[in-house]
Amino acid sequence: MMRAVTLLIVLLSVPVLGAIEEYPFESDQDEARFKKLTYEMRCPKCLNANIAGSDAPIAADLRREVYQQVKEGRTNDEIIEFMSSRYGDFILYRPRLTLATFFLWFTPLFLLIAGFVIVRRMMAASQAATPADGSLSPEEQARLKRLLDQGKDN
Amino acid sequence: MNRRLKLFIPIAIFFIMAGFLLFGLNDGRNPNLVPSALVSKPFPKFTQPSLYPEMGEFSREDFVGDILFVNIWGSWCPPCHVEHPYFLELSKQEDDITFIGISYDYSMVEDRDFLAERGNPFDYNIVDLDGSLRIDLGVTGAPETFLVDQNGMILYRHIGALDADIWREKFVPLLDQIR
Amino acid sequence: MIPELGNFSLVLALSLSILLSVLPMVGVYRNNPLLMTLSRPLCAGIWVFMVVSFGCLAHAFLNDDFSVRYVASNSNSLLPWFYKFTGVWGGHEGSLLLWVLMVASWTYAVSLFSRNLPLDILARVLSIMGIISVSFLVFMLLTSNPFDRLMLNPPADGTDLNPLLQDFGLIVHPPMLYMGYVGFSVAFAFAITALLTGKLDAAWARWTRPWTNAAWAFLTLGIALGSWWAYYELGWGGWWFWDPTENVAFMPWLVGTALIHSLAVTEKRGVFKSWTVLLAIAAFSLSLLGTFIIRSGLITSVHAFAVDPERGLVLLAILLVVIGASLFLYALRAPVVKGTASYTMTSREVFLLINNILLVVSTAGILLGTLYPLIHEAINGEANMVSVGPPYFNTIFLPLMALLTVFLTIGSISRWKKTSTAFLKDQLVKVAVASVLLGIVLPLFITREVNLSIFLAVSLALWIVFGIARDLVTKSANKDSLVKGLKSLSLSYYGMQLAHLGFAVIILGICLTSHYSVERDVRLAPGQGIEIGSYEFIFQGVVDAPGPNYRAEAGTVDVLKNGRPYMTLHPEKRTYLATGAVQTEADIDVGFFRDLFAALGDPRGEGAWVVRIHLKPFVFWIWFGAFLMAAGGVTAILDRRYRVRDAVVRDVPPEKAATGLGMKSPVEAS
């Protein structure tokens, strides 16, 4: 019985990454800002994690820095600028819109528009081939005539 | 576009993508090592205390005009132990370079003991007491080494332990340009 | 001795795979039935040898054979036996073995469940699957052999399975995921076969559908299990990070979903043929791409296997050959002739086409985002690297999914070829109004606040649910009673509705939990607590507790609900003995409507600790919804039409006229 319980506990317990520290804020708005900033900033040393969820010392340092700056009243843009000027755009999970990232942000939209254009073209082609009222298209009429003529000849 | 040609679009896209993938497999490329954002930017202003309290404080202005070799380290960091002996050699050999050691505020006593036991390659020892210098330098961990020219511009940042090969391949060419 | 046997088994499997790739295909082109029938026993043989090989590796793990390098780096004598067994797939070489075992299993399954396939079709399909086996067996034997021995100095003990993998998730997630990944190779093989024979007809679609549905169901479960596992592993409430390794599993799933819908159109109406073939090739290609990306060292991820670029080159070569050849064949042989059937603007065909476009554009967006840092570095140099993370992916993906949901209900109610707009209005206007109204009223009533994302989530989910209800009523209306009406509907129809229902449940789970989760990190002394909602969490201190291969500090958090004792959570902080690694283990109380979560931070002196408490409403619905989707997929496979042995040959209407190979379909209800 005990072995089964131990087995169950072992199987269901859960490891945690991401240091658990307290960052008390006075306003909900500040807390929301802190959360957003730390979620959207990449830990420079980790294997793809944000600074909110990482154990690494550098992530703790950066969390502390963001916390202090939010408390001081700096805006999100200012904090982002501060971080990226020191750690590069690498630290931003939301890529800035530059000439280089233009295609990143807009290609999906272009593809979507292209997709809908294709749908319209296909529908138009399909409707041209067969009139919507179910009567025969010109090609089908010609074929019918040929078949009937053949029948007449036999 | 001709219907038949359109059918070649998927394979074209695939080959373009494969080209990028091939680039990604390039030897020597490490997706985990990010170059410093401060290359070609000035070394940040700072005022921090010395690792030895009796030496007082240091600021950026104290080092204007010198070629700087700035190493971020701590006695708690194993690769720092590995590169230490090489630094002792290097600092004797390169006498036109000012060697600065910036240590974390984690273990100042142990850091002083470490230097006492194993020798001190640095001309100046600074402690980043409040962590602000590390952040201003875009430091991600220890050890890291910066090369700064006489005008105060950061030329290069190396992440990890520094050895003779890396010195020769990365630092010497840059030094030749500024000496 | 046993590892050598395992290695030899791999070689035998490779030899048989080479025969499988060549002989049946030769049989097809030389019209030699003997060579073609040889394909079946070859499949059985390959499967047997792969099972033996897997068994040998498992044996090495269970018997602590640390002279095998792979065992030494992924196991330890103190490891509980079930982690020793699942540790077989805990690293690169072993998981590759599992992958190849899956390929062999699917190939064998196709050879078994294919009585109604013409022999020359079967031969081609199995040959192509044989080629896939050959590629990966060659890769394994050349670069990633799990049976390599440490000859000179076998270690006394192993370096342990990564503590993060010592978890239930490892037991289930990789096998399900690989079943899905590899399962798409069947659709791929059928697609290549269609290109080779030049025959793309309703019969082909009928053969391909059950296999595709099965693979899709497995992949759905595999991804959901991975996400659930990440939720547990990371322990900070996250369950999807748009990590490259997550994306490479998700992309085949998205394309697979498009494929399922496209196959329906091709089967019923004989249109979108070449598009369907392309999707089938794309789904498996994305699986292969995923395998490559994860194992090549190309990208940064905590989930990536630690392998080197040289192995990556070999994998890339395999990709270039397999995908390149397939796409080239596609370009040459995809039917230039369009389907003859026509359809109007409000036909089901069009709505499914829209479904496909939205799914494919999503996939393209995710692919672009995943590879973009690499592309940016290639073009702009490494001086200014960029990262692409959740903010990008969410911005692109969520609106597309919202659009998809809108068309989902319309599409599933619409009819083939032509649906009158009057009919659509009659069916759906009330549904739309009800969904929108309740989308505002329900959140307002329950939580006294409503915002745009909650409104959208609830409305869209209700749009699906009410749409399903409406359609059930309509479709069962022409029978004597509701029950009789419902009984007359096919399993295929129910599968569809179940899967769509699952999708609605996921939408709710994701949006509600993202919006309503509460998370607190607080310093608590024993006896102190905090309140979240109707729950109160009281910290009761930490004691020492030993485990099988670790030392732990175990905390107790009493939970009260509405003031009364409800349950207790036991978060721990563990130090693993083999490596000294420290890991925080949270305790999660899983509930259908909410999860309660507690984890220990650092001690703060005098018995006080920093404790993390989460209340996560509806998070279980994410995985429950995925389970419903998978169940829907499986239900559809069980439909009678796929089990028809004696095909009834009927007069087939012109659109369905198959130049095909003799398999005619009975007319269905939906």
| Boundaries of domain holding C613 | 518-617
Q: Specify the number of domains making up chain C.
A: 3
What is the average pLDDT across C57-74? 91
> How far is the CA of C229 from the CAs of C114, C171, C173, C302, in angstroms?
36, 11, 8, 14
| Domain end among A91, A113, A138 | A91
Copy the structure tokens of residue B83. 């590169």
The answer to whether A65 contacts B139, with C-beta atoms less than 8 Å apart, is no
pLDDT of residue C659: 40
- Alpha carbon distance, N-terminus to C-terminus of chain B: 60
CA-wise closest residue to C290 among C370, C215, C204 = C370
CA-wise closest residue to C670 among C412, C478, C481 = C412
pLDDT of residue C635: 94
Which residues in chain B touch residue C278, judged by CB atoms under 8 angstroms apart? 10
Q: Is residue A96 part of a domain?
A: no
Residue C385 has its nearest CB partner, among B11, B20, B34, at B34
Same domain, C497 and C579: no
What is the average pLDDT across C520-548? 90
Which residues in chain B touch residue C319, judged by CB atoms under 8 angstroms apart? 18
**The CATH number of the domain where A62 resides is what?**
1.10.8.640
Reported as a pLDDT band with limits 50, 70 and 90, residue C339 is: low
What is the average pLDDT across B110-117? 94
Copy the structure tokens of residue C178. 């690989």
Same domain, A77 and A116: no
Same domain, A65 and A119: no
Which residues in chain B touch residue C297, judged by CB atoms under 8 angstroms apart? 25, 31
The yes-or-no verdict on residue A120 having pLDDT over 60 is yes
**Inter-residue contact C447 to C516 (CB < 8 Å):** yes
CA-wise closest residue to C403 among C343, C456, C344 = C456
Query: Residues C437-455: pLDDT tens digits?
Result: 999 999 888 888 878 889 9
Reported as a pLDDT band with limits 50, 70 and 90, residue B172 is: very high
The answer to whether A65 contacts B36, with C-beta atoms less than 8 Å apart, is no
> Which three-class secondary structure state does DSSP give residue B107?
coil
**Residue boundaries of the structural domains of chain B:** 37-178
Same domain, C578 and C455: no
The yes-or-no verdict on residue C68 having pLDDT over 50 is yes
Q: Specify the number of domains making up chain A.
A: 2
Helix (H) or strand (E) holding C70, with range, is: helix C69-74
The yes-or-no verdict on residue B162 having pLDDT over 90 is yes
Same domain, C494 and C548: no
Same domain, C13 and C156: yes
Q: Is residue A4 part of a domain?
A: no
Q: Is residue C230 part of a domain?
A: no
Phi/psi of residue C626, each to 5°? Answer: -65, -40
Query: Residues C90-122: pLDDT tens digits?
Result: 889 999 999 999 999 999 999 999 888 899 999
What is the average pLDDT across B152-163? 93
**Inter-residue contact C294 to C288 (CB < 8 Å):** no
The answer to whether A84 contacts B134, with C-beta atoms less than 8 Å apart, is no
Radius of gyration of chain C (CA): 27
Reported as a pLDDT band with limits 50, 70 and 90, residue C373 is: very high
Same domain, A59 and A125: no
pLDDT of residue A152: 58
Query: How far apart are the CA of C312 and the nearest CA of chain B, in angstroms?
Result: 7
Give which of C288, C377, C379 to mutate to test B binding, by max B Cβ within 10 Å. Answer: C377
Query: How far apart are the CA of A134 and the nearest CA of chain B, in angstroms?
Result: 28
Reported as a pLDDT band with limits 50, 70 and 90, residue A134 is: low
Same domain, C468 and C607: no
- The ipTM estimated for the assembled molecules is 0.90
Which residues in chain A touch residue B130, judged by CB atoms under 8 angstroms apart? none
Q: Which of residues 335-364 of C touch A (CB under 8 A)?
A: 338, 342-345, 350, 353-354, 357-358, 360-362, 364
Which residues in chain B touch residue C312, judged by CB atoms under 8 angstroms apart? 25
pLDDT of residue A39: 93
> How far is the CA of C313 from the CAs of A71, B24, C625, C637, C670, in angstroms?
49, 10, 39, 38, 48
The yes-or-no verdict on residue A5 having pLDDT over 60 is no
Same domain, C483 and C564: no
Which chains would you list as touching A if contact means 3+ CB atom pairs under 8 Å? B, C
The yes-or-no verdict on residue C7 having pLDDT over 80 is yes
Copy the structure tokens of residue A23. 């960052």
> Cβ neighbours of residue B21 under 8 Å, at least 6 residues apart?
C292, C296, C298, C316, C371, C374
What is the average pLDDT across B6-20? 93
* Residue A110 in contact with partner chain C when CB distance is under 8 A: no
Query: Residues C158-178: pLDDT tens digits?
Result: 888 877 787 788 789 999 999
pLDDT of residue C337: 42
Which chains would you list as touching B if contact means 3+ CB atom pairs under 8 Å? A, C
Reported as a pLDDT band with limits 50, 70 and 90, residue C665 is: very low
Query: How far apart are the CA of B91 and the nearest CA of chain C, in angstroms?
Result: 29
The answer to whether B11 contacts C330, with C-beta atoms less than 8 Å apart, is yes
Write down the mean pLDDT value for chain A: 80
Least confident of C409-413, C564-568, C651-655: C651-655
Q: Is residue A34 part of a domain?
A: yes
Q: Is residue C267 part of a domain?
A: no
Reported as a pLDDT band with limits 50, 70 and 90, residue C306 is: low
Query: How far apart are the CA of C287 and the nearest CA of chain B, in angstroms?
Result: 14
The yes-or-no verdict on residue C156 having pLDDT over 70 is yes
Query: Residues A52-111: pLDDT tens digits?
Result: 888 888 999 999 999 999 999 999 999 999 999 999 999 999 999 988 899 999 999 999
Reported as a pLDDT band with limits 50, 70 and 90, residue C45 is: very high
Query: How far apart are the CA of C17 and the nearest CA of chain A, in angstroms?
Result: 38
The yes-or-no verdict on residue C646 having pLDDT over 60 is no
Query: Residues C595-643: pLDDT tens digits?
Result: 999 988 888 888 899 999 999 999 999 999 999 999 999 999 998 777 6
Same domain, A60 and A83: yes
| Domain end among A42, A59, A91 | A91
pLDDT of residue C602: 85
The yes-or-no verdict on residue C279 having pLDDT over 50 is yes
pLDDT of residue C548: 83
What is the average pLDDT across C552-558? 92
Give the position of tokens 């429950």: C624
CATH topology (fold) of B37-178: Glutaredoxin (3.40.30)
Write down the mean pLDDT value for chain C: 88
> Which three-class secondary structure state does DSSP give residue C267?
helix
Residue B51 CB coordination number (10 Å) = 19
- Taking CB atoms and an 8 Å cut-off, how many pairs form between chains A and C? 181
Query: Which chain B residue shows the shortest CA-CA distance from A87?
Result: B138
Percentage of chain C lying above the pLDDT 70 cut: 94
Residue B37 has its nearest CB partner, among A61, A62, A85, at A85
Phi/psi of residue C390, each to 5°? Answer: -45, -40
| Domain end among A39, A63, A91 | A91
Same domain, C626 and C560: no
Query: Which chain C residue shows the shortest CA-CA distance from A128?
Result: C342
* Residue B137 in contact with partner chain A when CB distance is under 8 A: yes
Reported as a pLDDT band with limits 50, 70 and 90, residue C421 is: confident
The strand pair at C594-605 and C608-617 is best described as antiparallel
The answer to whether A20 contacts C610, with C-beta atoms less than 8 Å apart, is yes
What is the average pLDDT across B138-157? 93
The answer to whether A61 contacts B135, with C-beta atoms less than 8 Å apart, is yes
* Residue C167 in contact with partner chain A when CB distance is under 8 A: yes
> How far is the CA of B148 from the CAs of B43, B63, B98, C189, in angstroms?
7, 10, 10, 59
Query: How far apart are the CA of B11 and the nearest CA of chain A, in angstroms?
Result: 17
pLDDT of residue C13: 96
pLDDT of residue C488: 83
How far apart are the C-alpha atoms of C177 and A23, rounded to whole Å?
Answer: 38
pLDDT of residue C640: 75
Reported as a pLDDT band with limits 50, 70 and 90, residue B122 is: very high
| Boundaries of domain holding A79 | 14-91
Which residues in chain A touch residue C235, judged by CB atoms under 8 angstroms apart? 14-18
Region of C527 on the Ramachandran plot (φ > 0 left; ψ -120 to 50 alpha; else beta): left
Residue A87 has its nearest CB partner, among B32, B37, B141, at B37
